[in-house]
Structures are given as structure tokens and as C-alpha cells.
Amino acid sequence: MTQLHTAAFAAVSLVLQGHSLAQIEWSRVPQPWNNQGGPAVLDGQRNCIVFLPSGAGGTVWEWSGAKWHAREPAHRPRGNVYNIAYDPVRRAVLAFGGTTSDSNPQAFMNDTWVWDGRDWAQLQPATRPSARAVPAICTDPVRGKIVLFGGVGGVFPGSIVFGDTWEWDGFNWSQQAPTSNPPARFGARMSAAPCSPGTCVLFGGGNGGSLVSPDTWIWDGSKWTMLPAAPNGPKARGYPAMTCRRSDGRVVMYGDYTTPDTWEWGGATWKEIAQGTNPVQQISSPCLFPSVLDSACIRCTGNVDHGYGQLRVWELSSTGWNVVEDLSAPYLIRAAAHFPVMDHIVVLGLTNDQTPRQKMWIQEDLVWRDGLPASALPPYLGTTQYALVYHGGLRQVMYVSTSLDGYPHTDQQTWLYDGNAWTRVTAGSPAPANTGSSPPKLVYDPNRDRVVYLKGGEVWEWAPGPGWQRIPALFPGRAASVGAVAFDPILKKVLCYGGYSSTNAPVRETLTWDGTTWALLSTPTTPTNASGWLRPLPDEDALMFVSQRFTATGFTDIVFRWTGSTWEAMPDRLPAEWSLPSSGLVGEWVVSELTRGRTVSLMNDMVITGEAKRLGVDQRYPRPGGMVNLSLSIPSEARNYYILALSEAGYPGIPVLPLPGGGSRVLPLAPDALFTASLQAGLAGQLGGAGTATQMLAIPNLPELAWHDVHCAAVSFDSNFRPRTVTNRVTLNVLR
């Protein structure tokens, strides 16, 4: 985006109004690999790929040619949609049929929906095919129709296999009456064949008992023509991936669940291509789509490694298939820590291989990337548990592995990570052996510059030089194992909560450790669970306890705030589109990302965040020439001034307030050209008596702004222009 374009953003008006106190709101962060396959189609109106993954909780993914964009529509089809096509009449993406996801037992649907890039809308055509799933569907661009054939329906999971042909004209479905139809089938694929204008190619599928014969069927708008299977042609298959190449109009078909082969239809016969370069076989529901940037290329995407957290994208060019994107998330998280000096989260875990390997990931602003290679990491030993903790004095992340009781003492190791390399600490005494199967409970005490390790009623502390030392102290609590531990910024002591007795009974006690003695605190209330995560509450001098309890209806989330003397229940505000209520908020690891003012729950390939929503927006998907209303709510900052800023990226952040132990609370924006232009535009004002304001923002009417992300955040200042509060970030996805 040029300086001329960025300077066009300007404030329109400022309105003071009242809002309620901001509280923690939790939201699921869509991840492109958190998908179980699904259909993809080129949106001819907006020149982007629309991907509708079945495992993404209603999220629509769009690929602009440079990056994936997640869309969270206000409305969505009520079930699982397996087939979509571009509607050239409505200039939108059409979805038909599928299965319900909110009824027991499940049922087939015959709903018709259209996607315009911002939201789904359900249509009510006078006629439509009977309820079904997985028909073959494609767009005939010559006649401006969508063609649909077959599918499975009846009583779920399927008692009728269809062999009928339907067409959509942009307003209504009409059943066609050719003299003959292909044999009934579902799981087939169909594509327009511009190399033979006015035709659509159908291949594959099954009839419920077996795969149909590998014949090829051609639809010309009035009749079906069968081309018998050739001896050297593609074998019978179900659920292949199929699309057409824009440069020459040839149809490309890839694989199925068992065979990674690639075929090309030139108008008369199939020809196998790209031999020796095909994507790996272990792809979960692969889909093909034309490249947005290069009309001669085809892309294939799917989950590999058993379809779990590993999204890979291949591109087919004249040289064959080549990997162009390889996105991955941790398979099994073993430890995580926030690294404020580097403004990212460090994660260690295991790969999803037959022989699990230690792997390191870095999460920067909720985006995963691979860390150092396995050869540069602390070794993975199956006889140990380990944990990570940030050492504020050394400004490094510490790794501590402790051998389980009965295993060699040499398995206990201490390492330090400075952002570039891991270094083993060999001086001093090693960590003590762990008890049980839980990771060690570690906390850094900035008052005494010590890492504290709690093992049952024992206290061990680490300092550079002497290493690990046991501190003799009488433990007044009844717990044999500690439930949660953190440093209390108010009491300036290590705080311990919960745990279990030697008979495995829950113990809901609150204790403090000052380096010499334990103190058992008397509190009027306690969290309802004895185990969970105790973490600093971002932007507050308080701690937050996060846990969950399993009930007959699923998991119930438990969130409490510790104020230094009492526990207060915090209502968790789940978004309306929450897709996995039975899983709760708590993942494999919970981290306080203090540099960005949020709590991050990591659950394999799912990311959940909780933060105070001090900045909101009335709509996230504006178009060029549109307008949005941004609302600020910082009740503690009444009558203070604020500055609203914009940027095209959210990383790296802009340091605003220093944090103890290194790093800064950052404004979650990047110092790019748009940021500079927004400051020059004067997006600033004064908060009202309730600490609230509304800012109207005009989006320049420039077509080239489409597909740009515009990030917005604000910071408040006191009368001496010292920064006070940094808001959350709001992201506007400018649509075409």
C-alpha cells in the first residue's frame, strides 16, 4: 500500500458515549490447518479461492494469491456443506445440500446458500433437488449454469443413491431430462472443460457398495455421453480432487484416499502427468483449485500426517508438483513459555510420527512457525517430564527436565534459550527427580532472582552458579502435589493454589512462599477446582486461575481472579460462533502473553485467546469506499486522551510500556507506512466521562485496497502525555 493510499485514511467524526466495563472475552483463533478437508472453488467475481473446510467451525477461508484470510460470517449454513460452485449470475459462491450438525440423528439437507465474500444468505428457490450430500457439482461458464449430479440421501447415513441431473440458473433449480444418465453415484467429481467449450466432465464415485466403473461422462447441456474406460486410464476412485487449468482449459484430477496420481483431460482422453512428483499419499480430503496468480498452475491442499495440524500446499507447474506452503502446528505440546524480550511464545512438543521427535515451535502474534531444528534442542527422553519458565534476571527461557522416580539421575537437565540457541547448564546441582507423571511446577521469583520448583511439600530453587538447592521449610498445607503456582505481583511472593492429598483428595488451599517460610492464607472463597493454570492477568496486578470441570453436558469453564487476598469468579464470555463447547477453554498449555495483553490457551492445533475488549468495531469486512465505527471503552481512563493507529501488519509490535524482567507491553501494530500515515491523519481524541468514545473511519474507495488487512489499536495517555493503557487489536479485512 503506497503512502498516497495510506494517507487517505482519515477520521470522520468523534462521538462520546457510554459503555459497560470491559471484561475478558474468549475467542477461537482460526488456523488454516485446523480443517478436515472440504470443497474449494474460484470466485470469478472477486478473483479469489473460497475454501469451506468441514472441520473449521463455520469459518470460511479465502486465498487471495498471497495469503489465507479467515472469514467469520454472521450467518452460515446450518450443517456440513460438501459441495460449492461459482454462480456467474449472482456473482457469488453457491452451496447446496449437506448434512445437519445440530440434530440427532443427523439428516440430509437441500438448502441453497450463497456467499458474497462477507456473509452467507439462504435462498428459497421454488424447486430444488431432494435432500442429499456429496453430489458432483460444477459451473458451466459457457451457459452460465451450475450443473449438479447424483449424491446420497434418504435416511442418514444414506439409503438412496441418486442418479439425477439438475441445473441452477441463478434463481431456481430445474431437473433435466436427458435420454440417459450416468449410473447413480455419490462422491464423484465434475468440472467444466473449457478445452471443449460447453462441456462438463464427470468421473469417479461409488454407489454405496462399491466404486463405479472408471468411465468418463460428458455433459453438454442436454445429454450425457459415456466414454468407456481406457486400459491405461485412471482407475476407479471415490472423492478425487478435480479442477480446470485456466491457461488451456484442461481438466486436472488428483488421487483419492489411496492413490496419489495426477491425470489431465484434454477433451478426448485422460493422460497421466507429473509422475514422480505427486503429493504424498497421506492427505486428508485433498482439494484442487486454480492458482490465482498464475493461470498455468494448479494448487493442491490438504492435511498430511494423518490429517492433524499439518497443512501443506503443492503447486502443479510444468516441472510437476512442488511444495509452496508448509504450515504446521504442534501435535503434542509438552511445555510452553512466553518470551517477552522476543515478544513470542516458545513451545516444545512432539511430532506426529511413528517415532515421536522433539520439536520446537515459535508463536509470533498467534502465527506458528518452526523453531530450531531437533539437533539444536534439548534431547527428548521418554523417562522425563519437563517444563519451561522465563527467567527475568537472565532474560532467557529456562528448560528443566526431571527424571521420574526410579530412572537415572542423569536424565535431569537444565538448559537456557536466549532467542538464538539452547545452551545446557552443567554447573551446579541438577534438578531433583519428579514425583508422578505431571510436569514440574516452576515459577520465577523476580524479588529474589530465583527459579522455584515445587515438588510436593519440597521446595527447590535455582540460581546461576550453585544450581538447584533444596530449601528446608515446613510445608503447612495438606496437598501432596501442587495444583497451580505463579508469582503474586501484589504480595511479591510465590503463590500456590490447590493440589491433591496423598489419598488423591482435592485440596483447595492458598499458600505463599517468600523464600524462607510458607504461609497458609485464609480466603472467604476458593475456585471450585483444585487443579488448573495460575497465570498473570495481563494489564492488571492480579492473577487468573483457569480450569474446567467435566459435567454431564460437557466441560464447564472455571475462571477466577486473585486480588492478593480473595478469589473472585470471572464470567467467561464465549463468542456466539463458539464451535467446540464440549472442549472448554483450557488446552494443553495456558500462557500469559504479557507483551500483547492476552491469555493464550494452546490445544494442539487449536488456539484460544482471552483478552479485555477495550476496542471494538461494528463490522470487520468493509469494502473500499465503506465506513466502520470503532468504539473505545477504558473506564479507568475517563477524560484522558487517546491515539488510534492503523497498520497493515501486527508484528513486530511497537513498544509502549516496559515490563518487569525485560520486554515491553506493545501496541500490537507494525511500524509500517500505514502506521505513520494514520498518526499524520490525527486519529486521536478525548475519552468521555465514562472512559468511552466512538471513532468513525472511512475506507478509501481504491480497488487496490481489496485483500489488505487493516489493523487498528489505541493507547491512552494521561495529562502529561505518558502512556497508560494499550487496547486490543481489531483487524479489518478489506474485501473486493
Question: Which range among 119-123, 147-151, 482-486, 580-584 shows the weakest confidence by mean pLDDT?
Answer: 580-584
Identity of the amino acid at 672: D
Distance CA 46, CA 48 (A): 6
Higher-confidence residue: 357 or 71? 71
- pLDDT score, position 34: 54
Query: Does residue 557 register a pLDDT over 60?
Result: yes
Q: Mean pLDDT throughout 112-118?
A: 92
- pLDDT score, position 225: 96
Q: Summarize pLDDT for 59-69 with one digit per residue, the tens.
A: 888 887 777 78
Confidence at 226, pLDDT banded by 50, 70, 90: very high
Distance CA 493, CA 145 (A): 70
State which fold the 32-238+260-275 domain adopts. Answer: Neuraminidase (2.120.10)
Query: Does residue 416 register a pLDDT over 70?
Result: yes
- pLDDT score, position 260: 83
Higher-confidence residue: 72 or 19? 72
Q: Provide DSSP, 23-73.
A: -EEEEEE--TTS-----EEEETTTTEEEE--TTSTTPEEEE-SS-EEEE--
- pLDDT score, position 36: 57
User: Is the separation of the CB atoms in 166 and 129 below 8 Å?
Assistant: yes
Look up residue 680 and give its DSSP letter: H
- pLDDT score, position 263: 94
Q: Provide DSSP, 132-159.
A: -BS-EEEEETTTTEEEEEEEEESSTT-S
Distance of CA 453 to the CA centre of its chain: 33
- pLDDT score, position 306: 44
Query: Does residue 2 register a pLDDT over 60?
Result: no
Q: By CB neighbour count within 10 A (0-12 exposed, 13-18 middle, 19+ buried), where does 367 fall?
A: middle
Q: Dig out the grid coordinates for 208 from the structure.
A: 454405496
Q: How many CB atoms lie within 10 A of CB 84?
A: 24
CA distances from 705 to 457, 498, 539, 701, 702 (A): 60, 52, 34, 8, 6
Percent share of the chain, pLDDT over 90? 46
User: Buried b vs exposed e over 266-288: b needs ≥16 C-beta within 10 Å?
Assistant: eeeebeebbeeebbeeebbbbbb
Confidence at 13, pLDDT banded by 50, 70, 90: very low
Distance CA 107, CA 40 (A): 23
Q: Dig out the grid coordinates for 696 from the structure.
A: 468513525
- pLDDT score, position 68: 79
Q: How many CB atoms lie within 10 A of CB 46?
A: 19
SS3 call for 731: strand
Q: Summarize pLDDT for 480-529 with one digit per residue, the tens.
A: 778 899 999 999 999 999 988 888 899 999 999 999 999 999 999 999 88
Nearest-CA neighbor of 337 among 398, 412, 388, 373?
Answer: 388
Length of the chain counted residue by residue:
736
Distance CA 74, CA 576 (A): 9
Question: Residue 482: in which H helix or E strand, if any?
Answer: strand 481-488
Please report how many Cα atoms fall inside a 13 Å half-sphere around the Cα of residue 681, on the Cβ side.
Answer: 26
State which fold the 3-22+614-733 domain adopts. Answer: S-adenosyl-L-methionine-dependent methyltransferases (2.20.130)
Q: Mean pLDDT throughout 588-613?
A: 86
Confidence at 551, pLDDT banded by 50, 70, 90: low
Confidence at 287, pLDDT banded by 50, 70, 90: confident
What residue ranges do the domains of the chain occupy? 3-22+614-733, 32-238+260-275, 332-612
Strands 450-455 and 441-445: antiparallel
Q: Mean pLDDT throughout 136-144?
A: 95
User: Is the separation of the CB atoms in 159 and 175 below 8 Å?
Assistant: no
Distance CA 655, CA 686 (A): 22
The reply to whether 3-22+614-733 and 332-612 are identical in fold is no
Higher-confidence residue: 275 or 186? 186
Q: How many CB atoms lie within 10 A of CB 550?
A: 10
Look up residue 267 and give its DSSP letter: S
Higher-confidence residue: 168 or 240? 168
The CATH number of the structural domain formed by 332-612 is 2.120.10.80
Task: Specify the residue for cell string 439428516.
Answer: 107
Residues ≥6 apart with Cβ < 8 Å to 223 = 178, 179, 180
Q: Summarize pLDDT for 419-462 with one digit per residue, the tens.
A: 999 999 988 877 776 655 567 789 999 999 999 998 766 789 99
Query: Does residue 18 register a pLDDT over 60?
Result: no
The order of strands in the sheet holding 493-500 is 481-488, 493-500, 510-513, 518-521
Q: Provide DSSP, 395-460.
A: TEEEEEEEEBTTS-GGG-EEEEE-SS-EEE--SSBPPPPB-SSSPPEEEEETTTTEEEEEETTEEE
